[in-house]
Amino acid sequence: MSTNSIFLCTSLADGDFFLSRVQNLIVSAESACIQAAVYRSKVGFPVLVKAGSDMVQGTLVHLNSSDMAGHIIDEMMGFFPQNPAQGLTHKELISVKTESGETTAYVYFLNPEKVNSDVKYIENGDWQKALTEKPPIPKKLNERQRNYIQKLGKSSGRDTVPLDLALYRELMNLELVIDKGRRIALTKLGQEVYRYL
């Protein structure tokens, strides 16, 4: 069985969103590091930027290399092979350091066109400390908030999803919903949070 290796800013121990979605495609995983810079997205998760000199710790994930697995992962990471300039990320094959030596793996770097004021640099690439100090939005939501975001995310067209006033205010303060007259809809940030629930 051949494998496809990807370096991720994730830990095998923290129940990571990405790893949970591709768990059945994982052949093996190990600790690794790369030279890059880490930024925090508006949702709160770490994103890699190629220009940087920090040694970033993460996980080297070896996946079943079927075409379907590649398409699923590219889509989840916001990489569009047919039009890379439009994607959230660029996918590059780079050198990765592991305990057993150096190898090569794919890394999803934030598209330079997407580096703006919504992303904040994480000092020394220590994304684990940053996430402990300030968890990403999806991890801070209570069950009622998560359930409502999921209902809105699954609704289509002009569906109306009932909402109580207190919950509406909570989600408005988090900038996750917007009032569209007769219905409540997810903001762009709310849509991004929905992807992680």
141 sits in the region (left: phi over 0; alpha: psi -120 to 50; else beta) called: beta
Q: What is the pLDDT of residue 181?
A: 73
Beta-carbon count within 10 A of 162 CB: 7
pLDDT of 150: 92
Per-residue pLDDT of the chain in tens (197 residues, 90 and over written 9): 455 889 988 755 555 666 677 778 888 889 999 999 999 988 888 999 998 889 999 989 888 776 676 777 888 888 888 888 888 899 999 999 999 899 999 999 998 887 787 889 999 999 989 988 999 999 899 999 999 999 888 887 667 777 778 998 999 999 999 887 777 889 999 998 998 88
Q: Which CATH architecture has domain 3-132?
A: Roll (3.10)
Residues present in the chain in total: 197
CATH T-level fold of 139-195 = Arc Repressor Mutant, subunit A (1.10.10)
Q: Could you give the percent of the chain with pLDDT greater than 90?
A: 40
Question: How many Cβ atoms sit within 10 Å of the Cβ of residue 92?
Answer: 12
Q: Model-level pTM greater than 0.85? A: no
Domain with CATH 3.10.490.10 in the chain: 3-132
pLDDT at 189: 92
Is residue 94 within 8 A of residue 104, CB to CB? The reply is: yes
**Where do you find CATH 1.10.10 in the chain?**
139-195
Strands 101-110 and 3-8, sheet pairing: parallel
